Amino acid sequence: MEYIDQTGSTNADLIESAPHRLDRSVLVTDHQTAGRGRLDRRWDAPPGANLLVSVLFHEVPAEAGELVRRLSLAAVDAVRLTVPGAGTVGLKWPNDILLEDGKLAGVLAQRSAEGAVVVGIGVNVGWCPQDGAKLGDGIDRPSVLAALLTAYDALPRSPDDLIIRYRDELSTLGQRVRVQMPSGDVVGDAADVTQSGQLRVRDDDGKTHQIAAADVIHLRPA
Ligand code: BTN
């Protein structure tokens, strides 16, 4: 594990230096000046406020999305362990960790030219954007990171067992959702995730859509 005071993006750093680093190298920083989020968005936080960390994987499972699910589940476990009174923690498909209904953390996976995968997570510890959620000011970020890495190692090894755990934590399931895709929105009930992590949504005509990548909004009943 390496710590740096400040960088552009821990994901970008690990992608660039992947050939020279060991499997499961971890890079953590206090401040990113060009933090990356999903769908080409930025991921910003004031210096020293949040947990910003990336993990490099040279050993990539057949379905690389499994690494995102692993880090997300580890984050859920770490929050429950380190901040037991924080509130209800769960997952929102595809890559968010929720605290109550607010976004507590986001996960971003990127592939290097050589085929390695870097999975980064930003956890709102001392700061969150409007409508987001955070753990709180007195929370020790290194303790959250240590719990995250320990929880990662304690996850079920088998992909079949992992997806069962993932379904259990996925608060999207059973919700009325709007799925936003370039081809148009789908509104319906989130019914299941497939073995490879695709979301199944049943629309009001009874048609099932299997979605690999999109933004999802949890809709409240009117
Ligand atoms: C999202 O859009 O929800 C994903 C955000 C991922 C942010 C983390 S912070 C550490 C790592 N480095 C980055 O540049 N991004 C990820």
189 and 130 in one domain? no
159 and 211 in one domain? no
The domain boundary, picked from 130, 146, 169, lies at 169
H/E/C letters for each residue in 108-123? EEEECCCCCEEEEEEE
How far is ligand 1, taken at its centre, from the CA of residue 95, in Å?
10
At 130-143, the pLDDT tens digits run: 999 999 989 999 99
Give the three-class secondary structure for 7.
strand
* Cα–Cα distance, 192 to 55 (Å, whole number): 28
Number of domains in the chain: 2
At 8-36, the pLDDT tens digits run: 999 999 999 999 999 999 999 999 999 99
Q: Is the pLDDT of residue 222 over 50?
A: no
104 and 73 in one domain? yes
Q: Is the CB of 37 under 6 A from ligand 1?
A: yes
208 and 123 in one domain? no
State which amino acid sits at residue 159: P
The best mutation among 71, 104, 121, 124 to test binding of ligand 1, ranked by most ligand atoms within 8 Å of the C-beta, falls on 121
Start-to-end Cα distance in the chain: 48
When pLDDT is averaged across residues 160-166 and rounded to a whole number, the result is 96
Torsion angle (degrees, nearest 10) of CA 79, 122, 60, 162: 30
182 and 152 in one domain? no
- DSSP letter, residue 163: H
Query: Model-level pTM greater than 0.85?
Result: yes
Domain CATH code at residue 104: 3.30.930.10
210 and 110 in one domain? no
At 114-128, the pLDDT tens digits run: 999 999 999 999 999
Long-range CB pairs of 96-99 (<8 Å, 24+ gap) are: 97/72, 97/123, 98/133, 98/171, 99/133, 99/134, 99/135
How far is ligand 1, taken at its centre, from the CA of residue 11, in Å?
7
* Cα–Cα distance, 29 to 3 (Å, whole number): 6
At 44-66, the pLDDT tens digits run: 999 999 999 999 999 999 999 99
User: Which residue segment(s) compose the domain that 95 sits in?
Assistant: 2-169
The best mutation among 2, 17, 41, 43 to test binding of ligand 1, ranked by most ligand atoms within 8 Å of the C-beta, falls on 43
When pLDDT is averaged across residues 73-92 and rounded to a whole number, the result is 96
Q: Is the pLDDT of residue 221 over 80?
A: no
